Amino acid sequence: MKNILLALNNLRDTPARSLISILLMAFGLGMIGVMRFFSKNVEAQFTSNLRGVDMIVGAKGSPLQLVLCGIYHIDAPTGNIPLREVESLRTNQWVKELIPLSLGDNYMGYRIVGTDSSIYSHYGIEMVKGRPFRKPMQAIISERLARELGISVGQKIEGTHGLTAGGEESHHHPYKITGIFKNTGTVADQLIFTSLESVWEVHHDHGHDHSNEHEDLEITLALIKFTGPMANFTLPRLVNQNSSMQAALPSIEINRVFNLLGIGMEVIRWIAIVLIVLSVAGIVFALFQSLSGRMHELSLLRALGYRPFGIFSIVLSEGLLISLLGGIIGVLLSKTAQYFLASFAAGTFKYRFDYEFGVDDIALLLVSAATGIIASLFPAIRAYSKSVVVTIQKA
Amino acid sequence: MKDNSTTLIVQTDALKYAYHHESSFLYRDIHLARNQTLFVLGKSGSGKTTLLNLLAGFLLPQSGSVWIAGENLARMSQAQRDRFRGRNIGIVFQKNIFLSSVTVWQNLQWAAYAAGLPFDKEHAGRLLEQLGIQSKSSKKPHTLSQGEQQRVSIARALVNRPALLMADEPTSALDDENALEVIQLLKNACSSHEAALIVVTHDRRIVSSEDLIYYTTPFQTPSPQ
Opening angle at CA A301, ends B138 and B68, nearest 5 = 115
List the one residue out of B114, B107, B212 whose CA is nearest residue B151.
B107
- Is residue B2's pLDDT more than 80? no
- What pLDDT, on the 0 to 100 scale, is given for residue A71? 93
What is the 8-class DSSP label of residue A216? G
Residue B53 and residue A395: Cβ atoms within 8 Å?
Answer: no
Range scoring the smallest mean pLDDT among A82-91, A180-189, A274-283:
A274-283
- Residues of chain A contacting B86 with CB distance shorter than 8 Å: 303-306
**Higher confidence at residue B220 or residue A152?**
A152
Distance CA B57, CA B71 (A): 11
Q: Does B82 sit within 8 Å of A302, measured CB to CB?
A: yes
Average pLDDT on A347-356 reads: 82
A18 pLDDT exceeds 90?
A: no
Q: How far is B25 from chain A (nearest CA, A)?
A: 18
**Residue A159 to residues A144, A200, A348, Cα–Cα distance (Å):** 18, 13, 18
Domain spans, chain A: 2-46+264-394, 55-248
In angstroms, the CA B68 to CA B84 distance is 9
Q: Do B79 and A9 touch (CB under 8 A)?
A: no
| CA–CA dist A262, A241 (Å, integer) | 33
DSSP structural state of residue A39: I
pLDDT at residue B5, as a whole number: 45
CA diameter of chain B: 57
pLDDT at position A393 is 60
SS3 A168: coil
Q: Per-residue confidence at A207, pLDDT binned at 50, 70, 90?
A: very low
Is B35:B188 a contact under the CB 8 Å cutoff?
A: no
Reference A10, options B99, B153, B112, B139; nearest CA is: B99
Per-residue pLDDT, B39: 93
Q: Which residues pair with A161 in a beta bridge?
A: A105
Produce one character per residue of A277-313: b if its CB has 16 or more CB atoms within 10 Å, e if not: ebbbebbbbbbeebbeebbbbbbbbbbbbbbbebbbb
pLDDT at A353 exceeding the cut of 80: yes
- Amino acid, single-letter form, for residue B146: Q
Looking at CA atoms only, how far is residue A8 from chain B in angstroms?
9
Distance from CA of A14 to the nearest CA of B (A): 9
CB contact under 8 A, A305 and B83: yes
b/e burial code for range A335-369 (CB count within 10 A of at least 16 → b): bebbeebbeebeeebbbbbebeeeebbeebbebbe
Calpha distance A219→A35 (Å, rounded): 38
Taking CA atoms, A288 is separated from A89, A378, A391, B61, B207, in Å, by 73, 9, 15, 32, 43
Q: Which residues of A touch B94 (CB under 8 A)?
A: 393
What gap in Å lies between CA B206 and CA B225, rounded to an integer? 39
Radius of gyration, alpha carbons of chain A: 30
Contact state of A393 with B97 under an 8 Å Cβ cutoff: no
Chain-wide mean pLDDT for chain B? 86
Which pLDDT score is estimated for A246? Answer: 95
* Interchain proximity B58–A304, CB inside 8 Å: no
Q: Is A188 in contact with A142 (CB distance < 8 Å)?
A: yes
Chain A CB contacts of B156 below 8 Å: 304
Which of the residues B93, B94, B101, B168 would you substitute to probe the A interface, choosing the one with the greatest number of A C-beta atoms within 10 Å? B101
Q: How far does the CA of residue A307 sit from the closest CA of chain B (Å)?
A: 6
- For residue A298, the chain B residue with the least C-alpha distance is B99
Pairing of strands A127-130, A110-115: unpaired
In terms of CA atoms, which chain B residue is nearest residue A310? B114
- Asked if residue A76 has pLDDT above 60, the reply is yes
Distance from CA of B218 to the nearest CA of A (A): 24
Question: Would strands A81-82 and A55-59 be described as parallel, antiparallel, or unpaired?
Answer: unpaired
Residue A16 neighbours by CB distance under 10 Å: 7
Ordered DSSP codes for A233-258: HHHHHHHHHHSSEEEE-HHHHHHHHH
Secondary structure letter of residue A220 according to DSSP: S
Q: Contact, A41 vs A292, CB < 8 A? A: no
Q: Which residue of A has its CA nearest to B49?
A: A393
Q: B95 to chain A: nearest residue by CA? A: A395
Is the ipTM above a cut-off of 0.90? no
C-alpha closest to that of A201 among A215, A213, A189, A184: A213
Among residues A267, A269, A270, A379, which one has the least CA distance to residue A323? A379
| Residue from the list A12, A300, A306 with its beta carbon closest to the beta carbon of B101 | A12
DSSP secondary structure string, chain B?
--GGGGTEEEEEEEEEEEETTTEEEEE---EEETT-EEEEE--TTSSHHHHHHHHHTSS--SEEEEEETTEEGGGS-HHHHHHHHHHHEEEE-SS----TTS-HHHHHHHHHHHTT----HHHHHHHHHHTT-GGGTTS-GGGS-HHHHHHHHHHHHHTT--SEEEEESTTTTS-HHHHHHHHHHHHHHHHHHT-EEEEEES-GGG--TTSEEEE-GGGEEEPP-
Residue A141 pLDDT greater than 60, yes or no: yes
Which of A297, A302, A395 minimises the CB distance to B99? A297
Mean pLDDT over B80-100 rounds to: 90
Q: What is the pLDDT of residue A206?
A: 47
pLDDT at B121 over 60: yes
Contact A389 B111 (CB under 8 A): no
Q: Where are the alpha helices (DSSP H) in chain A?
A: 2-13, 15-38, 44-50, 63-70, 83-90, 119-123, 143-149, 196-203, 231-242, 250-303, 308-349, 359-386, 389-394
A294/B91 CB distance under 8 A: no
- Which amino acid does the sequence have at A357? F
Task: Say how far apart CA B171 and CA A394 lie, in whole Å.
Answer: 18
A206: number of Cβ within 10 Å: 11
Whether A392 sits inside 8 A of B97 (CB atoms) is: yes
- Percent of the residues in chain A that have a pLDDT greater than 90, as a whole number: 43
Which chain B residue is nearest to residue A8, measuring alpha carbons?
A: B101
Question: Does residue A120 contact residue A132 with C-beta atoms inside 8 Å?
Answer: yes
Q: Are B214 and B27 spatial neighbours (Cβ–Cβ below 8 Å)?
A: no
pLDDT digits (tens, 9 = 90+) for B180-198: 888 988 998 888 888 999 9
Q: Do A13 and B101 touch (CB under 8 A)?
A: yes
**Dihedrals phi, psi of B174, to nearest 5 degrees:** -110, 155
**DSSP code at position A52:** T
Q: According to the per-residue pLDDT averaged within each range, which of A54-58, A346-350, B12-16, B21-25 is highest?
A: A54-58
* CB spacing of B82 vs A307 below 8 angstroms: yes
pLDDT score for A170: 67
**Burial tier of B44 (Cβ tally within 10 Å: 0-12, 13-18, 19+):** exposed
Residue B183: burial class (beta carbons within 10 Å; 0-12, 13-18, 19+): buried
Question: Cα separation of B68 and B89, whole Å?
Answer: 9
Residues of B with CB under 8 A from a CB of A: 49, 53, 56, 58-59, 78-79, 82-87, 91, 93-95, 97-102, 110-111, 113-116, 156
Closest CB from B53, B85, B102 relative to A9: B102
User: Which of the residues B17, B51, B82, B107 would you substitute to probe the A interface, choosing the one with the greatest number of A C-beta atoms within 10 Å?
Assistant: B82
**Cα–Cα distance measured from residue A159 to residue A393, given in angstroms and rounded to the nearest whole number:** 85
The distance of A314 to chain B (nearest Cα, Å) reads: 12
Chain B CB contacts of A392 below 8 Å: 93, 95, 97
- Closest Cα to residue A155, out of A140, A171, A142? A140
Residue of A170 and B140 predicted with greater confidence: B140
pLDDT of residue A351: 84
Which chain A residues have any C-beta within 8 angstroms of a chain B C-beta? 2, 6, 9-10, 12-13, 294, 296-297, 299-308, 310, 388-389, 392-393, 395
User: How many CB pairs (< 8 A) connect A and B?
Assistant: 77
- Condensed to tens digits (0 to 9), the pLDDT of residues B37-59 reads 999 988 877 888 889 889 998 88
Q: CB–CB of B58 and A388 under 8 A?
A: yes
Please answer yes or no on whether B56 and A389 come within 8 Å at the CB atom: yes
Domains, chain B, with CATH or none = 3-222 (3.40.50.300)
